[in-house]
Amino acid sequence: MSKANHISDEARAQERQQDAADVAATLDGRLDAFDKLIERYQRRAVSVSYRLLGNIQDAQDVCQRAFVKSFRSLSTLKDQELFGSWLMRIVSNLSLNHRRDRKPHLSLATSEGDTGVPEAIASAGRSDGDSPSSAMETSEAETAIREAMDSLPEKQRMALVLFAIEKMPQKDVAEIMECSVEMVKWNVFQARKSLKQALAHLIEE
């Protein structure tokens, strides 16, 4: 287990070093280096934005704006190794702003790996098309999950998405949210607690 964590930490360190090199190259006028940054983080950025917005088109639009904004502001990045966390902060903030403006819906259909949400809730979005009654129950569960997630304070929602769903290390989440690791833990705990209370009827069923 410790070996796996060590490898993961080593891979992250290498990624940060490559980020710093690509940022420096971009600032020197090599636009192909920024293309590498986009390629490295595009899937992660879209995934985070999608889980905050629940609409893939909106997520792609937000990420496009995030990459443009990061390119224009690249010279303001003090620690070039932290490009990834800095970019995810931009993506998260733009996504939340977009959500406040349009109030799009969120689906947790792909959050089955989140141990903080009971399996009965996490699996609500997975429908095998068994019967009309089953489909109706699934739709009702998804609606309840959306409403519960929508009711969470933004910091709790962001912490839950980044840590419990996207599986980002707490330290990285803290960098993105510009807070302490303890605050990340508190926000995740409170979010899980609120979801379990709001969705208790699904667990009982």
pLDDT digits (tens, 9 = 90+) for 63-119: 999 999 999 999 999 999 999 999 999 999 999 888 777 643 443 433 334 444 433
- The amino acid at 35: D
Do 16 and 62 have their domain in common? Answer: yes
Cβ distance 64 to 41 under 8 Å? no
Structural domains of the chain, count: 2
Of the three residues 104, 128, 155, the one that is the final residue of a domain is 104
163 burial (CB, 10 Å; 0-12 / 13-18 / 19+) is buried
Going by C-alpha positions, the residue among 166, 165, 164, 117 that lies closest to residue 144 is: 117
> pTM above the 0.85 mark?
no
Q: Are residues 99 and 133 located together in one domain of the fold? A: no
Helix-strand-coil split of the chain, %, nearest 5 = 75, 0, 25
